[in-house]
Amino acid sequence: MPTGVALRDPRQQLFDAAARVLVRDGASELTSRAVTAEAGVAKGVLHRHFADFDAFLTELVLERIAQVEALAEDLRTAPGGVVDNLTAALTTGFDPVAVAVVVLVIARDELRRRLREAGASRLPLVGEFTAVIAGYLRTERDRGRIAADADVDVLAPTLIGAAHLQFTEQAAPESVRRVVITVLAGVTPSHSDLQ
């Protein structure tokens, strides 16, 4: 890589490269060398913008958490029915990068420690996504579209866990939709109310 070439947004370039490596090669192959090679930059670029590789990974995961948390407002104001809204949110939230990031977080103790110090949940990314889904379910409960006694603190992690398992196998939105319908079946008078 030639020196003196200005990079437009080196942090984002490195994050995008890390995402590609994660999805293509898995968490065990994600190294600073793999990221900088994928980004087409010198290894020093990463260390110029981050204290160390774990600091880079922490920022990478925090960026993904921010993307998931941004779904909350979109979900609350979505015009569709409950099933459609949840299917879309789960499909968006569990894209291939997010699934790979969950594996990365589980695999790296130091990363989890740093994320918790930064205020992330006990299981970073998954915990924040669960909170977004729980918040949406509370909104729908308040609107009367799901039962007043629906336990959203049980429904949300059930939806997240079942959807995550679907996406470890590159699930189609229709399989996620079936999960949503099944999980919510007991909290609505009929399936048509969920649409």
pLDDT in tens, 65-78: 999 999 998 998 99
Structure tokens given for 150: 């629906």
Q: How high does pLDDT run on average in the chain?
A: 91
Report yes or no on 54 lying in a domain: no
Q: Is position 1 within any domain?
A: no
Domain count, the chain: 2
> Coil, helix or strand for 67?
helix
Question: Is the model's pLDDT at 156 over the cut of 90?
Answer: yes
Distance from C-alpha of 146 to C-alpha of 150, rounded to nearest angstrom: 7
The larger pLDDT score, comparing residue 156 to residue 195, is at 156
List the domain range (segments joined by +) for residue 25. 9-49
| Domain CATH for 36 | 1.10.10.60
Whether residues 26 and 96 share a domain: the answer is no
Residue 164's domain is classified under what CATH number?
1.10.357
Please give the single-letter amino acid code of residue 176: V
Domain check: are 180 and 91 in the same one?
yes
Residues 68-120: tens digit of each pLDDT: 999 998 998 999 999 999 999 999 999 999 999 999 999 999 999 999 999 99
3-class secondary-structure state, position 41: coil
Q: Which pTM does this prediction carry?
A: 0.89
Same domain, 19 and 69: no
Residue 89 lies inside a defined structural domain of this protein: yes
Helix (H, G, I), strand (E, B) or coil at 29: helix
Residue 42 above 80 pLDDT? yes
| Amino acid, single-letter form, for residue 32 | S
Q: What are phi and psi of 50, to 5 degrees?
A: -140, 145
Question: Which ranges of the chain would DSSP assign to H, the alpha helix?
Answer: 10-25, 32-39, 43-49, 53-76, 82-93, 96-107, 109-117, 126-143, 152-167, 173-184, 191-194
